[in-house]
């Protein structure tokens, strides 16, 4: 009987812990605000949240904001080891700046360069960065690509904005944006390189392959399709050629039953987070 009561007590304790677990408290988001943010999908107005009673973060989309906080401040995807007091960080796909906030709070001496091509996102990013007042932080309104020219871009004002060459000419979201060649920024040692550029990662990584020898830690958000499996294989090959070890996690569950859902058609068939590092 005592075993039954003990197991019952453990079960109740586990349920209570799950019930009252507040992962977003690490970013000063309480239970009530978490529930509100999950339903704040109206992006017509800018919202605000204050972190550590010091950093006011402007954003538009509540669920997307929570997702970024979960990756950055709860799960700490970009936490890396370094003995460099002034690590150099390149942030490709800065969105509204939460990644830069994470880097500067955790690596105060870091020299951070961020890129965000979507003007709708960049205006919020620049406003946030200016308010935070971090030293050695520079943000550039440009798309990371394989040249320094310009390209067609799908500007939707959220994390899904991306380089897009197949849009109809009369699409309201189609704009032409400035490009920056990532390879040109990798001629010196880089402590951390983040590449979250919504499907452009394959072309960019191929272009800058020979300069990845200068990168110590590399994060890639990979967007893959079944009929382009060679791209993932080639990316992993590039990592091995540059002496990276890597760890792969599923970034989002695209198909919950891959064998059964094989005929479903989505924008991407896989979304992977690739963590590459040297030691």
The reply to whether 85 falls in a domain is yes
Both 80 and 46 in a single domain?
A: no
Asked if residue 116 lies in contact with residue 138, where contact means CB atoms within 8 angstroms, the answer is: no
Both 115 and 227 in a single domain?
A: yes
Asked if residue 141 lies in contact with residue 113, where contact means CB atoms within 8 angstroms, the answer is: no
Residue 6's SS3 state is: helix
DSSP of 108-169, one letter per residue? TT-EEEEE---HHHHHHHHHHHHHHT-TTEEEE--EEESSSSEEEEE--SSTT-EE-SSS-T
Tell me the angle at which helices 98-106 and 119-132 cross, rounded to the nearest 10 degrees. Answer: 30
Both 246 and 115 in a single domain?
A: yes
Both 107 and 187 in a single domain?
A: yes
Asked if residue 140 lies in contact with residue 118, where contact means CB atoms within 8 angstroms, the answer is: no
Question: How far is 173 from 156, CA to CA, in rounded Å?
Answer: 6
Average pLDDT over residues 54-77: 95
Asked if residue 166 lies in contact with residue 201, where contact means CB atoms within 8 angstroms, the answer is: no
Both 225 and 110 in a single domain?
A: yes
Both 96 and 58 in a single domain?
A: no
Last residue in a domain, options 62, 86, 106: 62
Both 141 and 262 in a single domain?
A: yes
Asked if residue 9 lies in contact with residue 60, where contact means CB atoms within 8 angstroms, the answer is: no
Q: 185: closest CA among 111, 236, 130?
A: 111
167 band by pLDDT with thresholds 50, 70 and 90:
very low
162 band by pLDDT with thresholds 50, 70 and 90:
low
Residue 159: pLDDT over 90: no
Structure letter (DSSP) for residue 215: B
Q: What is the pLDDT of residue 171?
A: 55
The reply to whether 7 falls in a domain is yes
Both 125 and 262 in a single domain?
A: yes
Residue 92: pLDDT over 90: yes
The reply to whether 90 falls in a domain is yes
Q: Considering only 73-77, 83-87, 154-158, 165-169, which range has the smallest mean pLDDT? A: 165-169
Residues 168-225 pLDDT 10s: 445 566 888 899 999 999 999 999 999 999 889 999 999 999 999 999 999 999 999 9
The reply to whether 165 falls in a domain is yes
Residue 45: pLDDT over 70: yes
**What's the number of CA atoms in the CB half-sphere (13 Å) around residue 189?**
7
Asked if residue 106 lies in contact with residue 210, where contact means CB atoms within 8 angstroms, the answer is: no
pTM beyond 0.85, yes or no = yes
Domain assignment of residue 133, given as a range: 76-277
Number of domains in the chain: 2
Average pLDDT over residues 12-31: 73
Last residue in a domain, options 14, 40, 62: 62
Percent of the chain scored above 90 by pLDDT? 73
Average pLDDT over residues 226-245: 96
Question: How far is 113 from 193, CA to CA, in rounded Å?
Answer: 10
Asked if residue 204 lies in contact with residue 146, where contact means CB atoms within 8 angstroms, the answer is: yes
């Amino acid at each position: 009987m005592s075993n039954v009561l003990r197991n019952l007590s453990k079960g109740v304790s586990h349920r209570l812990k799950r019930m009252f677990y507040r992962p977003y408290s690490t970013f000063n988001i309480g239970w009530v605000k978490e529930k509100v943010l999950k339903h704040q999908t109206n992006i017509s107005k800018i919202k605000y949240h204050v972190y550590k009673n010091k950093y006011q973060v402007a954003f538009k989309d509540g669920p997307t904001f929570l997702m970024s906080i979960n990756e950055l401040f709860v799960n700490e995807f970009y936490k890396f080891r370094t003995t460099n007091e002034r690590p150099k960080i390149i942030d490709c796909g800065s969105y509204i700046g939460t990644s830069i906030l994470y880097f500067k709070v955790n690596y105060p001496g870091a020299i951070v360069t961020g890129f965000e091509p979507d003007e709708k996102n960049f205006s919020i990013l620049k406003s946030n960065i200016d308010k935070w007042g971090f030293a050695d932080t520079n943000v550039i309104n440009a798309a990371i690509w394989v040249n320094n020219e310009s390209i067609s871009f799908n500007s939707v004002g959220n994390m899904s904005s991306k380089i897009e060459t197949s849009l109809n000419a009369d699409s309201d979201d189609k704009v032409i944006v400035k490009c920056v060649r990532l390879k040109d920024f990798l001629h010196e040692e880089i402590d951390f390189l983040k590449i979250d550029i919504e499907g452009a990662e394959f072309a960019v990584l191929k272009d800058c392959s020979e300069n990845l020898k200068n990168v110590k830690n590399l994060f890639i958000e990979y967007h893959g399709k079944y009929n382009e499996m060679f791209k993932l294989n080639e990316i992993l090959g590039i990592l091995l050629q540059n002496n990276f070890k890597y760890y792969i996690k599923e970034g989002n569950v695209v198909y919950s039953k891959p064998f059964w859902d094989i005929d479903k058609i989505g924008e991407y068939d896989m979304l992977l987070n690739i963590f590459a590092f040297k030691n």
